[in-house]
Structure 1
Amino acid sequence: MNPPIVRFRGMNMVFYSVVGFVYILCTIVTGAAENTDIESIDELNDAIAQGPNRKIGFLSMANYNAVRTVLHASVEPVLFQSKDALVSSVLSGSLVAGLMRGVVADHHAKDLHTFSSGLISTSAMFMTPDVSADMPHGAPPYRSSRDLALAINAAIVRVQNKGSDQEARLKNMPFEFLSVHTCKSDNYALFPPPNKNNATGLLKTILETRVFKLGAFGPFHWGDNDGNYLVNPPTGFYPDLMSAIFEEFKNLSGPDGVKYGDDITLERIWSKMSNFQNLFDGVSYITEPYFVIDATYSGTDEPCVNSTDCRPALLPEGKEQCNTYKNSTGHLVTHPDSGEPKRRCEHPERSRIDFFRFSCFTLGSASTFFTKRSSAASTVAPSGGLPGGIVAAIVICVLLLLIAVFAVLFLVYRERRGSPVFTKLSEE
């Protein structure tokens, strides 16, 4: 007697088994696509090279210039006026990464990966050099910064030896910086400030007018730890460091023992574009202590009609060049009324050491990149949509589900026609 024919009628079981398998597979694929966290400079450069998102956020072009040599050539820098806006853009996915000097605030640490660029940026206070054949853009004798540099270096040495910079750090935690003391000495006699009554140039102007004009970038809110310059007085590490330097400056006295004076006031000269123009023109006397030395100089950016409006430079034309320019999105900047391209004074990129007089170094800081953790919840919709890896995973899962459904429908169709794919189980 032949063995009974066993008809395959467990279509529900097949359907649920196939769908369950596809679900598990999709979970694995999507999870792998989501887990593409960037945790090193090499991974960041790979992400920039592959695109489509190549945008990295910075708080200034100087910060970008300080790290551009370690980034892939196709990177697209985007500037922000506050660290909060920069962090939010990284968390939303509109930026592949951001850069900061220092550390991430505690409330963002769980949502971000941070890793070093491998570069240390040093900062100082910038002054205009004296005019010379090598420095045609320099200042005339009545605006010489030579004596001012001697006095400000004496103040910085005192701040660093007393540990006032470390006090500013501890007051504004979390904040990290490296002590880079190029004027390393506890012997103040090695850094003598000029006598008050014999001062020349800008130092004389300060002591006579009783106003210390400080070139400042902004005003911006860079975070409560770094510096909030939208409140009066500003708060944060950098304002506290400048306050410490200024207090030491007022307390200085030359060999004659005459104190510079407590009645000197600090006036910040703000600029979002042309701090160097103000410095060269004597509108400000010296910059804030956070200006980085290892960035490039590319001109004053002051507006112009033609190159005769620009300042002298060691170029064949004898002046910086008046050129049209593009914004961060690559579009030509035009006048709102006429539609004509705007122009500004530019210089071929050169090291800043060729253009300025620097104070003693005020600090060193690690340039740190930060990227979004895959587990971070985004409260802002990404401007560029879902990441490419997630989109690809979703497409694959949809295709697998469609294939599974059609396969089960095919089995049902064959079963109902009386010619099932699985007709019997035979036993020998």
Structure 2
Amino acid sequence: MVAKIFILAFLNVALAQELDQLDELIDHLSKNYGSKIGLLTPSNYASVKRILPDGVKPVYVEHEQDLTKMVLNGSIVAALVSGLPEKKYHDALHIFSSNLVTMHSFLMAPDLSTDYPHGNSENLSTYHLSLAINAAQSKMQLKGIDLQLAIKNAPKQLIQAHTCKEDDQTQFAVPNKREAVGLLRDILDSQEIRVLAQGPADWGINDGNYLLDPPVGFYPDFLEAVVDEFKNLSGPDKELYGQIKIRRIFSNKSPFPWYYLFNGTAHLTEPYFILDAPYAGSGKPCTRDDQCLETETGYEKCTGYCRHASRPRYIMLRSSCTSLGTDSKFYTKRNSRESGGSSNSGLVVLIVLLVVFVAGLAGLLKYQELLETFK
């Protein structure tokens, strides 16, 4: 009986699965309905939902270190981030690609038009602002500063998937400082750019720790680099835009307050927002429909907050040129200290040892039978 228990325990150890590849994780999730996957935001889940099997339960955690600790203590099967977990945890984790590139950009309110009946009126127009942001970002990327920031904040995997060609600066018609209108006018007059941000939260020191003041990491550095170029912009009149300071407007509200972009509370978002994540309304608190934004069919529906049928963000909002692409990564707990394929080698060794043990045990039992025969 003791030998049988030992054999079963040994088998459990030997056959413990190392989830170190995407297909292995998907297979495990398919066979274990209700398995939990940890993420920082619903947008991260939306970016990979199509490749996950039914029954997966997303768990949202504000801080990346907490997410990693949940993987290590087994309370979730895996976690997903749009970059990499902190380097100090890498030896304890299997990290592998989702095979999906996630696109990011600055987001702004669209201008009022037939296509965008929910858009901003002239005094809050973002057209001139979008020209300036695209010019500033493209200048920064042309200098390779984004790559330098990825190296500075390593490990940070940066995919250069740009929708604007940086080497053709003629495509960016920067408005003259004195002729700027809408939200660009407001920025230049106030010398402040108000940036809508998720959080504050700690997404790891490589991506961004927004609990610190000032925040540190790749995304805070990226925004600062764009604003530095923004300050030095000038239109045909050669008058520089001048000093601009950054003021972040954080929110963890659900639904997210996109209406801050429409009423001028914020000029634009951080550069890390995911383009194809769902937008389901402005999120403005309300008591009746006509307090909400107008849509092609009337108004958003008031359900305590202004909501409407989900659409991709890039359809409902104005996007800058893409800021970057990221290879969204899953990571799981490493059950052995070996990496990737060597976990299979460890399995083979365990099975061989098991076979030797069983053969030895069988021989011992046979020897005992022979002794009984001669008694």
The aligned residue for residue 353 of structure 2 is: none
Match of 2:293 among 297, 311, 316: 311
Contact 2:257/2:283 (<8 A) preserved? no
Going from structure 1 to structure 2, the CA distance change for 1:307 and 1:73 (only over 3 Å counts) comes to farther
Q: Any residues of structure 2 matched to 1:182-197 within 5 Å, and which?
A: 182-197=163-178
1:362 equivalent to 2:323? Answer yes
Contact 1:116/1:368 (<8 A) preserved? yes
1:272 equivalent to 2:252? Answer yes
The aligned residue for residue 284 of structure 1 is: 266
- Which letter maps to 1:272? N
Q: Any residues of structure 2 matched to 1:285-304 within 5 Å, and which?
A: 285-304=267-286
Aligned residues: 343
CA-based RMSD of the aligned residues comes to: 2.2
After TM superposition, give the deviation of residue 422 of structure 1 in Å. Answer: 9.9
The aligned residue for residue 125 of structure 1 is: 106
Name the % identity: 40
The aligned residue for residue 409 of structure 1 is: none
CA distance in 1, matches of 2:18, 2:286: 45
Deviations 1:337-368 (A, max 9, x none): xxxxxx43322221222111111111000011
Going from structure 1 to structure 2, the CA distance change for 1:352 and 1:153 (only over 3 Å counts) comes to same
The aligned residue for residue 363 of structure 2 is: none
After TM superposition, give the deviation of residue 132 of structure 1 in Å. Answer: 1.7
Deviations 1:293-314 (A, max 9, x none): 1212122333333434432223
Contact 1:217/1:275 (<8 A) preserved? no
CA distance in 2, matches of 1:296, 1:280: 17
Contact 1:121/1:365 (<8 A) preserved? yes
Contact 1:305/1:322 (<8 A) preserved? yes
State which drifts further: 119-128 or 182-191: 182-191
- Which letter maps to 2:86? A
SS at structure 2 position matched to 1:354: helix
Q: Any residues of structure 2 matched to 1:161-176 within 5 Å, and which?
A: 161-176=142-157
Which portions of structure 1, spanning 4 or more consecutive aligned residues, are displaced by more than 4 angstroms?
Answer: 421-424
Match of 1:321 among 290, 301, 305: 301
CA distance in 2, matches of 1:206, 1:124: 19
CA distance in 1, matches of 2:250, 2:317: 19
After TM superposition, give the deviation of residue 107 of structure 1 in Å. Answer: 1.6
- Structure with greater Cα Rg: 1
After TM superposition, give the deviation of residue 52 of structure 1 in Å. Answer: 5.2
Going from structure 1 to structure 2, the CA distance change for 1:41 and 1:309 (only over 3 Å counts) comes to farther
Going from structure 1 to structure 2, the CA distance change for 1:167 and 1:422 (only over 3 Å counts) comes to closer
CA distance in 1, matches of 2:89, 2:261: 37
Contact 2:21/2:96 (<8 A) preserved? yes
Going from structure 1 to structure 2, the CA distance change for 1:143 and 1:83 (only over 3 Å counts) comes to same
Contact 2:177/2:234 (<8 A) preserved? yes
The aligned residue for residue 37 of structure 2 is: 56
Contact 2:47/2:277 (<8 A) preserved? yes
After TM superposition, give the deviation of residue 171 of structure 1 in Å. Answer: 1.1
What TM-score comes out, normalization by structure 1 length?
A: 0.76
| Runs of 5+ unmatched residues, structure 1 | 1-17, 324-342, 377-420
Q: Any residues of structure 2 matched to 1:77-96 within 5 Å, and which?
A: 77-96=58-77
Deviations 1:35-94 (A, max 9, x none): 122223333233323335521111111111111111112111111111101111111111
The aligned residue for residue 10 of structure 2 is: 28
The aligned residue for residue 241 of structure 2 is: 260
The aligned residue for residue 314 of structure 2 is: 353
CA distance in 2, matches of 1:215, 1:255: 30
SS at structure 2 position matched to 1:425: helix
1:425 equivalent to 2:370? Answer no
- Which letter maps to 2:130? A
CA distance in 2, matches of 1:301, 1:185: 35
- Which letter maps to 1:183? C
- Which letter maps to 2:35? R
CA distance in 2, matches of 1:37, 1:306: 53
The aligned residue for residue 343 of structure 2 is: none
Q: Any residues of structure 2 matched to 1:35-114 within 5 Å, and which?
A: 35-51=16-32, 53-114=34-95
Going from structure 1 to structure 2, the CA distance change for 1:37 and 1:302 (only over 3 Å counts) comes to farther
SS at structure 2 position matched to 1:98: strand
CA distance in 1, matches of 2:285, 2:36: 28
The aligned residue for residue 158 of structure 2 is: 177
| Runs of 5+ unmatched residues, structure 2 | 338-368
SS at structure 2 position matched to 1:369: strand
After TM superposition, give the deviation of residue 233 of structure 1 in Å. Answer: 1.1
Match of 1:144 among 98, 120, 125: 125
After TM superposition, give the deviation of residue 112 of structure 1 in Å. Answer: 1.1
- Which letter maps to 2:273? F
SS at structure 2 position matched to 1:177: coil
